[in-house]
Amino acid sequence: MGTPAGPGDFRRTRGTSRTCPVGLDFRAVGRSAAFFDLDKTVIAKSSALAFGRPFYRDGLITRRDVVKSAYAQLMFRLGGTDEQTMARTRDYLATLCKGWPVEQVRQIVAETLHELINPYVYAEAAALIEEHQAAGRDVVLVSASGEEMVRPIGELLGVTDVIATRMAVADGRYSGEVEFYAAGPRKVDAVGELALERGYDLADSYAYSDSYSDRPLLECVGHPTVVNPDRALRRLAVENSWPVLEFRHPVPLGRRLRERPAVPVAAAALGVGVGVAIGIAWYGRHRRTRAAATPTV
């Protein structure tokens, strides 16, 4: 046999148009996994947006950051799959988080997770995760948001593992460097590493996302499915005859455990990091509106 390939070494697998890591006979191993993007795929909002308000409240973000973050958000939406745009977004996030105490971030996430994330988990996504687990597949969240946010959400959902952006840490604070930015093709690098480590057959694995920026992730597996897709991804799905799912029912996980949805997830088929600024802006407007509505004495 030849030398096993490194994590970034991909090839076309015979019998499929997907790109999968070489070096292992995945079908002989016989394991598969389901990879889920997080924002707008599993939860009905941006995870970064969700934690924006408590970050602002606790002084991690200033009003000046609102303008910078809004620009970064706009650039990402206009050209998120462009390598230059992703690099600028990555560098901006690193600068924004520089000096934040890691434990403070973890504490904020732990204290607000059930309030900010739990009510917004799509019932359809939770059911689909359970279906994959019942079939014996590992389930992995793959998100460009920071690991300190994504891993607790993964624990809440009961998934096997998470792939997320990792910030460098020095003396208990973010140093302003990014160790790994989980966006675009880099998601596929991480998925490839995990597949080699655990013996996943990517040609028999599944991936779900709402964004065209995750095209490399979707093309890496044998069973790609788009969820609540943006226009570009919907067009790509139609061109490739990929299934399209529409998730519309965010339900608190605690309630979902008591009330299983009556309609199977499959019936929803229709056929073949960064958003912190919006949350801060909303919070600022909300506070001003409340202040204006409060009568003075």
From first to last of the 297 residues of the chain, give the pLDDT tens digit.
Answer: 333 333 333 332 323 334 433 333 333 346 999 999 999 999 998 777 678 778 888 888 776 665 555 555 555 555 555 677 777 777 877 888 899 999 999 999 999 888 888 889 999 999 999 999 999 999 999 998 899 999 999 999 999 999 999 999 999 999 999 999 998 899 999 999 999 999 999 999 999 999 998 999 999 999 999 999 999 999 999 999 999 999 999 988 755 544 544 333 333 333 223 333 333 333 344 444 444 444 443
Give the H/E segment covering residue 194: helix 185-198
d(CA 53, CA 191): 31
Which one from 9, 25, 37, 65 is the annotated catalytic residue? 37
Contacts of 285 (CB under 8 A, 6+ apart): none
d(CA 167, CA 91): 11
Q: Please report, for the chain, the start and end positions of each structural domain, with discontinuous segments joined by +.
A: 28-249
Which one from 9, 39, 58, 91 is the annotated catalytic residue? 39
d(CA 176, CA 66): 18
DSSP per-residue codes, 52-65: HHHHHHTTSS-HHH
pTM greater than 0.85 = no
d(CA 109, CA 149): 6
- Do 159 and 130 meet the contact criterion of CB atoms below 8 Å apart? no
Q: Whose structure tokens read 């919907």? A: 234
Give the CATH H-level superfamily of domain 28-249: HAD superfamily/HAD-like (3.40.50.1000)
Q: Is 37 a catalytic residue?
A: yes
d(CA 93, CA 91): 5
pLDDT score, position 102: 94
If one counts every other C-beta atom within 10 angstroms of the C-beta of residue 78, the result is 9
What is the Cβ-side half-sphere exposure of residue 214, based on CA atoms within 13 angstroms?
Answer: 31
